[in-house]
Structures are given as structure tokens and as C-alpha cells.
Amino acid sequence: MPLTAYELLGLGGVVYAAAALPRLGWGNARWLLLGLAIVVGLKLGAAATAPPIGLTASYWAKATPEGPPSARPTTRGWPTRRA
């Protein structure tokens, strides 16, 4: 589960706060742990329900939505020289 830049920044802030700030009381630590568990659970739930490949797209050079254009004819004659 890769982390985005914002998640890495948040993780760095949590590590910095854990290293630099005094210890939290049990009540505050419990609420912080509960919030972290909810966020991790939501992220894992979103990752589990996301489509594995993403959306499939197809493109064609035609303005109408009925599908890709038919193949171009290949039976054209050779260009002739005009004198």
C-alpha cells in the first residue's frame, strides 16, 4: 500500500511529535489511537474495494458514440501520373 506525499508528510509529523513532545496521558493516547485505527481501517477498506485495473477506456477518431470507425479500404489504385 504505497503512501502519497501527504501521507508521508503526516507520518513524518507523527514521528516528529512522538520523538519531540512529552508523553500523552492515557485518555488522549486512547483517542489518538482510536482515530488512527479508524483512518487505517478506512484506507484498507478503500484499497480492498477498489477495482484492480482501473477504468478501461477506448479511443477512436469519430465524433459519434457508435464505436470505432470501420477499416479504411485498401483497394485504391496506384496514383497515376498526369502529363
Q: Does residue 66 contact residue 60 with C-beta atoms inside 8 Å?
A: no
First-to-final CA distance of the chain: 70
pTM for the model = 0.42
The domain limits of the chain are 24-49
Task: List the pLDDT tens digit at each of the 83 positions of the chain.
Answer: 577 888 888 888 888 888 887 777 888 888 888 888 898 899 889 888 877 776 666 666 666 666 666 666 566 666 666 65
Q: Does residue 43 contact residue 1 with C-beta atoms inside 8 Å?
A: yes
DSSP per-residue letters across 10-63: HHHHHHHHHHHSPPPPHHHHHHHHHHHHHHHHHHHHHHHHS-SS-------S-S
